[in-house]
Structure 1
Amino acid sequence: MNDYPIEYYQFFIKFNEGDYYTCHDLLEDMWMEDKSNLFLKGLLQMSVAIHHYSYGNVKGTRLMMRVAHEYLQPYRPKHWGLDLETVIEYIEYCLFIIPDDVDKVSFSEIERLPALRPLFLYLEDD
């Protein structure tokens, strides 16, 4: 097993708990040390997108998911112990079900948006 930064391990825990805001902070700390690492930036953008969706920022979700999709492509099929085929399939699923004709809904109307299915991430041996 590789030794990854502690924040990367914490990212998996927080992501699987649904704490996407904390995921952003954990990944941003690592990404700030190496801004050329588009793998981390892609995971960061996906986490931000899911967080945006949770409070009705549909336009922000679409934009962040598209950017995450683009950033993660070069790292397929697997990088840093993460199966990116599963992640990219999830992003494509989100982009498919997120409405194109809505930019924002109030928090009280969140339930009218299609619910995103959960994604659980696992660290695998390289």
Structure 2
Amino acid sequence: MYPQAYIDYLVHFHGDRDYFECHEILEEHWKEDEAKKRKRIWVGLIQIAVSLYHQRRKNNRGAYRMLKSAIFILEQEHEDLSKLGLDTDALFLLLKERLSSIKKEQPYESLFLPISDQHLLTSCMHRSKQKNILWWSNSDLTNTFIINRHTLRDRSDVVAERQMKLVEKQNNRLC
């Protein structure tokens, strides 16, 4: 009923709080569609995770911009959002409260998306168990890898892929 990427996003969002992984998972899912058919709903959800990633790192300016953009997108995509098993009224209230707290530079606290569909909740709990991730937990603020993942991750595969595309582009120019 729900894309596996969305379930995995929710598992990381509510489990290990690896917001960077949330971004990666949904971005890959979003890019599966051709560019003109990509659904903005996924961008809005990605931006929620990115906002929390920034807030947890005390980058309130980045967190505020991302969350403001996420709210704007999700309001525009309300119909699609309502099909994702979330209580949309509660979600918008939570997001606007968080936006206010970021603006006031209040410290990060874990955010729990209001899942209203019992089937989705059960799927997330099952997937969480499969991935050995504790479901519905708070951020471990001592886990520097998750907090600073963008600077600590292995990017060798990304660098190799970019190099391969550059060579391919140069070869196409020669033809």
* Mapped pair 1:32 → 2:31: yes
Aligned letter for 2:46? L
Q: Map of 1:44-123 to 2, 5 A cutoff?
A: 44-76=46-78, 78-99=82-103, 113-116=106-109, 118-122=111-115
Provide the TM-score with structure 1 as the length reference. 0.76
User: Deviations 1:35-86 (Å, cap 9, x if unpaired)?
Assistant: 5311111000010000011111111000000100011013336122222222
Is the 2:52–2:63 contact (alpha carbons within 8 Å) kept by the matching residues of 1?
yes
In proportion to residue count, which structure has more helix? Answer: 2
Provide the TM-score with structure 2 as the length reference. 0.57
TM-align CA RMSD: 2.3
Gaps of 5+ in 1: 103-112
Percent of aligned pairs with the same amino acid: 26
1:109 corresponds to: none
2:164 corresponds to: none
Q: How many residues matched? A: 113
Is the 1:72–1:84 contact (alpha carbons within 8 Å) kept by the matching residues of 2?
no
**Distance across 1 between alignment mates of 2:86 and 2:72:** 17
Is the 1:14–1:20 contact (alpha carbons within 8 Å) kept by the matching residues of 2?
yes
Structure 1 counterpart SS, 2:103: coil
Structure 1 counterpart SS, 2:55: helix
Is the 2:86–2:113 contact (alpha carbons within 8 Å) kept by the matching residues of 1?
no
Give the counterpart of 2:12 among 14, 17, 25: 14
Greater radius of gyration (CA): 2
Gaps of 5+ in 2: 121-175
After TM superposition, the structure 1 stretch with the greater mean CA deviation from structure 2, 20-29 or 82-91, is 82-91
